Structure 1
C-alpha cells in the first residue's frame, strides 16, 4: 500500500467551492515531478471503503501537505475542513469550510490547485487521509479549484457551448448541463424505441426519416390487414350461419328432421358443415317425428307404429333390430 498525492475539480469560478469532486469512477492517472506515472481504478465500492476508513467525521485541508511533512515545530494550520459523500459520479468533498485565510488565498489566485493524500491497494484507491492546497498537483489535466484572474478558458468555452451569458453563474452552468443530460437521456430512449422498430440510422438523418416513414406505413398496413382479417372472419361466420339455416331448414321442410332439433343441427353445421350435409342427405324425406299426437300401436308387438317408423328412419336402425329389442323389453316387463 502506497501513499499518493493528487486532485480533481470541475467548473472553477473565482469563489472557493463549497464542494468538489475528489475522484470520478473509472481509471485515474497521476504523474509526479520525477516523471513517474501510475494508473489506478476507482469504483463505487472503493468510494464506500474510503468513507468507511475515514478517521474523522470531517477531514482536514492543509497547505502543501505540511501535516504530513512538517518543516519545523511550529503550528500547522488547517486551510479548511470537509466531509465525504459517495454520489453516482464519484466521491465528493462536501460541506467544505474554508478558513478566512485560505479563502482569500484562493480568491487572489495564490492557490488554485489541490492534492489529496491517499492510499492505493491492488491497483485501487482505498483510503483518503486529507487534502492539501498546492500549485503542483500530480493529477494529469487537473481542473483548478478556482479560476485564474484572467478567467478560465475551459469555463468560457463551456459557457459558449451551452449558449449562456458570459457572466453565467455556477448554478446556471449546472442547470444547463442537467438539462443537456436530460435531453441526452430522452435521445437515448428515442434511439432505443427506433431500434425496436428496426430503425438504426442517426436521428435526424434523411435515412432515419425514410426508415421511420416506412415503419409508420408498415404499421398502418399491419393495422389495416388486422381489420380486414377481422371483417373476413365475421363475414365467414355470417355466411356459415346463412348456409346452415338454408340446409337445416330445407331438411326440416322435407321432413328429414323434427322442428325441435333445428338449433341442434344449426350448431353442428357450424362446427362441421360437410358431415351434417352428408348426414341430413342420408335421412329419408318425410321420416321426421310428427308434431301431433300419436295413437298407441294396435295389434301385435311386431307391428311398427308411425312414431316408431319415424324414429327408425332418424336413427338408421333397421326395423328387425328395433323389433328384436322391443320384444326383449316387453318380455322383461311381463
Structure 2
C-alpha cells in the first residue's frame, strides 16, 4: 500500500506475518523498482530479481529477516553496486501503522523506509549490519535524460522511472551474460557470442553418448532380420488359415500369395468367402459332373470369388494359376 508512515512492526506482528507467509505455497518475489505494481499500467514485464523463502522468515531485534535466492542478473547488478536497497510492499493499519503482511519486495535505490535497515550489502554477503551510505546529491537535466531514454518530450516521471528500470535490468542481464561466458567486463555482445562459439567448438564431444559404426550397423541388420522373420511367420500363418477355411483354394494360389506379401494376402483373405465345401471332398475324388476338363481356362465359382476379393481379372488369375496337367 502507499503511504508515508510511520509504520510499526514488533515481534507479535512479525509472528503473524511469518504465519501468513508459511501458509502460502509460493515464494515471495523480489522485482526491480516495484515493476510488479506498475505492470498493469505500463504494460511492461516484471522480471524477478530474486525469491524469498517464506519458511525462512524470522524476527530479530532489528527487524524481519528471510533467506533470498538471487537471479544471476540481480546478483551481478548488486555486485556492481547498481542496486543497493530493498523496498518492501505491505498492507498496514491506517490508524496504527501496524504492518499486516509482506506481499513482495523490490530492488531500488530510493526506498520509502529508512535506508539503515534496507541496505543490501549485509543481506547478500551474510555479514553483520553495515552502516548505510547516504545518497549523493545529483542534478540531472530532465530534457537531456528524456532524449537519452528515447521518450516523448512530455514523458511523465513514472515513464522515466520505468525506462530507467528497464535500462538497469538490461545492463544487469548483459553483465550476467558476460560473466557466464567468462568474457571481459567491457566485451561487446558480438565478442561475447564469439567467445561462446569458440568454447563450444573446442569442447570435446561426450563419446559415452555414441556407439561404434560397426556396432550400429550390426544392430540394424539384426533388427531387419528379426522383422523379416516375423513377417514370414505371419504370412505363413495367414496362408495356413486361408487354406483351412477355403478362402485360399489351393497350393498354387497359396504360393502366389506368398510372393505378393502380407498386405496382398490380407486383402485376399478379407475379400474371399470362407467355402466349407473346399475342406472336404464330396465326390470321393471323382470329378463332379460338368467339371472343367484338362486345358479348360474357365474359372470355378470359387476362383471367381477369389478374383473378386483380390480385385484382379480372371485372365490374370489363370495366368498365375494355370490348370494342372492330368
The interval holding the TM-score normalised by the smaller chain is 0.3 to 0.5
Please state which structure has a larger fraction of its residues in helix: 2
User: TM-score, normalised on structure 2?
Assistant: 0.33
Q: TM-score, normalised by structure 1?
A: 0.32
Tell me which of the two structures has the higher relative contact order, counting C-alpha pairs closer than 8 angstroms and 6 or more residues apart: 1
Which structure has the greater CA radius of gyration?
A: 1
